[in-house]
Amino acid sequence: MASRSALIRYPLVVATVAVGAVAGILVLVGVAAGAAAVVASYALLIAGIEFVRMLARLRKGVIGVDLLAVIAIVSTVLVGEYLASLIIVLMLTGGEALEDFAQARAQNELRSLIDRAPRIAHRITRGATAEQEIEDIPVALVAVGDRLLLRPSEIVPVDGLLADEVESAEFDESSLTGESLPVEHRGGQLLLSGSINGQTAVTMTATTDAAHSQYQSIVLLVTEASSHPAPVVRLADRFALPFTAAALLIGITAWVVSGDPVRFAEVLVLATPCPLIIAAPIAFMAGMSRAARTGVIVKGGAVLEALSRTRSVVFDKTGTLTEGRPSIRGIRTESGFTEHELLRLAASAEQYSSHVLAESVIAQAHAEGLVLESTDDAGEVATAGVAATFGADTVRVGKLSFIRPLAPAAHEYELATGELAIYVAVNDRFAGAIIAHDRIRENARATIAELKRRGARQIVMLTGDAHATAVSIAAQAGISDVRSGCLPADKVTAVAALIERPVVMVGDGVNDAPVLAAADVGIALGARGATAASDSADVVILVDDLSRAASAVAIGQDSVRIAVQSIWIGIALSGALMVIAAFGVIPAAVGAGIQEVVDLICILNALRALRTPSVHTGSRTKYPAPPVVVRAS
């Protein structure tokens, strides 16, 4: 079946081999003239097809090396070098097959993610005898609340909760987080689709359907990334015109000086470098595949090229530079409110917020045994706060600037270094604040140092938090340019105003979606399922690791360097061989074969982009704190 598929997929390759076989038979039976006629006719036909394709690309403004291939075929036919003509035709027609092979190698990690997508789930149902029955269903039919059986070594089909009765179970989450060691989960903990169960059968309850599960979102991101063509085609086209002119000049000079038109053909057969057509795009696809292996999904080659030229990097604070898992340090109340009442109302409202701080407030309320209320009347203002109505009470939770317009008595509390306040108003009365502390990520400073080493000239932190908290985190991270008190519109404006470009924005959560879309390259820490941010971003980091932002820049730089290197290797080798051929040292047929070797060298070099780039984000070196420039909006 595979051979039949190849015959259908590459008909011109098959036709070229068939023509070669027919010509060989004719030569063996003594009909050399017939063999020459067959090869010449077929070669000129292919040259005509390539010429038409070349004109079509020229109409789109794309200048390539097609002209050299067409001239090489025609010239070798005219001077009677039919074997060389056939080899050139085979090189052209086989180029697509060679590209497919190399692309498949480069896309290996991207394809493996898609191929491993779960397809079957074992749903637990109750039969007529009230005993449990197991039915196998497509993953797409799993509904929220379904109880599922996970057999040993099976893929978790959808996101869900491990059954409470399970004391502990191990899962391989390497395809999601890059963590090579199994992760232990206990009953009631969240399981992510795409992870692999260990050696014990367990049960779980689905909390999402397949379309909204973690692994399905990864598959969609990977599919989108692999569908974007690499911009190296444009990169290669910059070399096409001067290379074509140089090749023609060498060929014509050799013809004129020697008086032998065969010299022209011998030069031109060495002037059809695949690196300009194939090797460079393969380097970009390999880079995307390498990134996927490290838990970073890059949405196309154009993104890699922009990453390679990074000059400014902008960071969100909460959940990006910090861990995004703040601990509640205390509750401060105003007259008429108790700590439990304030926490219960605030947590009830935070159920309708997407901000990373909401989870901590809700968790604290549950830890204290408080019963939360629900409502159909709630709304969130991105990066500002959330308002919800519970019976006769209207609760507003968020920044001081969000509370104060309707609760004029609201005032700022004095905070310790690294603390932040979540203010609360009830029925337009200032109720107090919940004090939280969010630690900076351990590798934040090393990541920023690596980005500077990679060419970032300006590092900025944008945050909606108060300036005291912002300054504290920035100093620990090694950032001197801080913009505090920013609304979403302020962040977009700040990114647009940066002079050093391209600008890379690193953030997480739905609140960062607008600025991620506004940056030249948006990087989303998508490990926590921040769908809106992931949709707006150009790069999605699937693991909760800030250092992968530096890895993405490093992979972009390596991919571009190797792509350009492959182009120059092809040009240098072809150029040197053309000069040698101009002296009549390399016969046309031999030259055509040598050119195939040059192509293979360049393609193998391009695949080096699969290798891991060296990044230095684990350093614990102590750096002196930089002077901090605070810009409050």
Residue 618: what pLDDT? 52
488-497 pLDDT, tens per residue?
A: 778 888 999 9
Residue 369: what pLDDT? 93
pLDDT band at residue 222 using 50, 70 and 90 as cut-offs: low
| Residue 494 DSSP one-character state | H
Instruction: Provide the pairing of β-strand 629-632 with 481-484.
Output: parallel
Amino acid at 594: I
pLDDT band at residue 621 using 50, 70 and 90 as cut-offs: very low
pLDDT band at residue 627 using 50, 70 and 90 as cut-offs: very low
Residue 113: what pLDDT? 64
Residue 317: what pLDDT? 87
Q: Between 290 and 530, where is the model more confident?
A: 290
Residue 592: what pLDDT? 86
Mean pLDDT of 607-612: 80
Q: What is the CA radius of gyration of the chain?
A: 31
Res. 525: pLDDT tops 50? yes
- Tell me the two tokens of residue 414: 């004095």
Res. 596: pLDDT tops 60? yes
Residue 426: what pLDDT? 96
Computed over every residue of the chain, the mean pLDDT equals 83
Mean pLDDT of 247-256: 94
Q: Between 250 and 228, where is the model more confident?
A: 250
Res. 166: pLDDT tops 70? yes
Q: Between 511 and 543, where is the model more confident?
A: 543
Instruction: Write down the residue that tokens 């896309």 correspond to.
Output: 107
Within 8 A by CB and 6+ apart from 231, the residues are 284, 301, 302, 305
Burial 106-116 (b: 16+ CB within 10 A, else e): bbbbbeebeee
Q: Catalytic positions, please?
A: 316
- CA angle, corner 613, sides to 610 and 615, nearest 5? 155
| Dist CA 357 CA 537 (whole Å) | 22
Res. 154: pLDDT tops 70? yes
Other Cβ atoms within 10 Å of 596 Cβ, number: 17
Res. 228: pLDDT tops 60? no
pLDDT band at residue 509 using 50, 70 and 90 as cut-offs: low
Residue 625: what pLDDT? 37
Mean pLDDT of 348-353: 92
> Which is nearest to 301 in space by CA: 53, 103, 550, 517?
103
Q: Please tell me the least confidently modeled range out of 66-70, 311-315, 445-449, 611-615.
A: 611-615
Q: In what order do the strands lie in the sheet with 160-162?
A: 132-138, 120-126, 147-150, 202-206, 160-162, 190-191
**CA-to-CA dists, residue 499 to 73, 312, 489, 493, 503, angstroms:** 50, 9, 18, 12, 9
**CA-to-CA dists, residue 179 to 116, 174, 175, 294, 543, angstroms:** 17, 5, 8, 10, 9
Instruction: Provide the pairing of β-strand 481-484 with 458-462.
Output: parallel
Residue 284: what pLDDT? 85
Topology adopted by domain 284-322+442-556+625-632 = Rossmann fold (3.40.50)
For residue 502, whether the previous peptide bond is cis, meaning omega lies within 30 degrees of 0, is yes
Amino acid at 69: A
**What residue ranges do the domains of the chain occupy?**
1-104, 119-223, 284-322+442-556+625-632, 327-437
231-249 pLDDT, tens per residue?
A: 544 556 677 778 888 999 9
Res. 7: pLDDT tops 50? yes
CATH superfamily of 327-437: Calcium-transporting ATPase, cytoplasmic domain N (3.40.1110.10)
Res. 92: pLDDT tops 70? yes
Instruction: Write down the residue that tokens 């795409």 correspond to.
Output: 194
Residue 484: what pLDDT? 87
- φ, ψ (nearest 5 deg) of residue 607: -70, -10
DSSP labels for 23-74?
A: HHHHHHTT-HHHHHHHHHHHHHHHHHHHHHHHHHHHHTT---SHHHHHHHHH
pLDDT band at residue 622 using 50, 70 and 90 as cut-offs: very low
Res. 482: pLDDT tops 60? yes
> Which is nearest to 533 in space by CA: 308, 309, 383, 362?
383
Other Cβ atoms within 10 Å of 583 Cβ, number: 12
Residue 98: what pLDDT? 65
Res. 42: pLDDT tops 90? yes
Asked if residue 49 lies in contact with residue 68, where contact means CB atoms within 8 angstroms, the answer is: no
Amino acid at 118: P
Amino acid at 340: H
Residue 629: what pLDDT? 42
271-296 pLDDT, tens per residue?
A: 866 666 677 778 888 888 888 888 78
Q: What percent of the chain has pLDDT over 90?
A: 38
Res. 478: pLDDT tops 70? yes
Residue 505: what pLDDT? 94
Res. 431: pLDDT tops 80? yes
Q: In what order do the strands lie in the sheet with 393-398?
A: 327-333, 429-437, 419-426, 393-398, 385-390, 378-381
Q: Between 293 and 483, where is the model more confident?
A: 483
| Dist CA 541 CA 568 (whole Å) | 32
Asked if residue 429 lies in contact with residue 407, where contact means CB atoms within 8 angstroms, the answer is: yes
Res. 536: pLDDT tops 50? yes
> Which is nearest to 194 in space by CA: 170, 164, 219, 161?
219
What CATH number belongs to 119-223?
2.70.150.10
Other Cβ atoms within 10 Å of 143 Cβ, number: 12
Residue 114: what pLDDT? 65
For residue 59, is it left (φ>0), alpha (ψ between -120 and 50) or beta?
alpha
Asked if residue 602 lies in contact with residue 275, where contact means CB atoms within 8 angstroms, the answer is: yes
- Tell me the two tokens of residue 64: 């390539």
Res. 178: pLDDT tops 80? no
